[in-house]
Amino acid sequence: MNVQGINAFGAQSLGPQSLSSLDVRDPNAPEAAQNPSNRNQSEQTQSSSDRVSLSEAGKKALADATGKALHNSEAAKTDKARKAEETEEDENLSDIDKKIKELKQKLEELQLELQALQGDDSEAAELERKQIQDQIAITTNQLMALLKAKEKQVQPRE
């Protein structure tokens, strides 16, 4: 079946004119029956083409589905553009800047792991919290050392 205005071809070119009613046609029907301009052949048209009306709930569901598809498509494009931009920025960064960025990401991940253990009072969770806190301390020290090294590079030599 072909739902005029909703199939892949129709959605790209024209889209549905209205969400209140759609023409549904049988692709195997004779060409004359599918041509809506030939209204004098109404009996043939009735046998191969039906008029369908959508309820308010159906209209809402169709609009939601169409909107979700468009939103997801746009979100994917935005995500790809952001990743490409980050990759381009990473290529322009110095080695120290790349390492600083890595360490900041690692700190964020460790903090999330620590938050995930919140409320767990078991001995295993306590041990894991201690290990994560140690890793955070080590990573923070590494980050501070890199920031000091970067500061020395940036300062004008006098």
DSSP summary character for residue 89: H
Rounded to a whole number of angstroms, the distance between the first and last alpha carbons of the chain is 79
Residue 37, both tokens: 């301009």
More confident residue, 144 or 17: 144
pLDDT at 105 over 90: yes
Supply the pLDDT for residue 5. 53
Task: Give the list of residues 6+ apart from residue 51 with CB closer than 8 angstroms, or none.
Answer: 21, 23, 24
**Distances from the Cα of 114 to the Cα of 81, 103, 123, 135, 141, angstroms:** 31, 16, 15, 11, 18
CA–CA gap between residue 53 and residue 14 (Å, rounded): 19
Using the Cα atoms of residue 23, residue 27, residue 28 and residue 29 in order, give the sign of their dihedral. Answer: positive
Instruction: Give the model's pLDDT for residue 126.
Output: 93
- pLDDT for the residue numbered 17: 54
- If you average pLDDT over residues 128-132, what whole number do you get? 95
Other Cβ atoms closer than 10 A to 25: 19
Distance between CA atoms of residues 86 and 144, nearest Å: 23
* Helix ranges restricted to H, the chain: 8-13, 31-34, 42-48, 56-92, 95-116, 123-154
* pLDDT tens-digit readout, 77-95: 777 777 777 666 667 778 8
Task: Assess whether pLDDT exceeds 50 at residue 96.
Answer: yes
Q: Does pLDDT of 4 surpass 60? A: no
Tell me, what amino acid is at 48?
Answer: S
pLDDT at position 31 is 58
pLDDT at position 129, please?
A: 94
Instruction: Please write the tens of the pLDDT for every residue from 9-63.
Output: 444 444 555 556 666 667 776 655 545 555 555 444 445 567 777 788 877 787 7
> What is the structure's pLDDT at 60?
79
Q: Which pair of tokens denotes residue 142?
A: 């590494």
Res 11: pLDDT:
43
The pTM of this model reads: 0.43
Q: Are strands 49-53 and 21-25 parallel, antiparallel or unpaired?
A: antiparallel
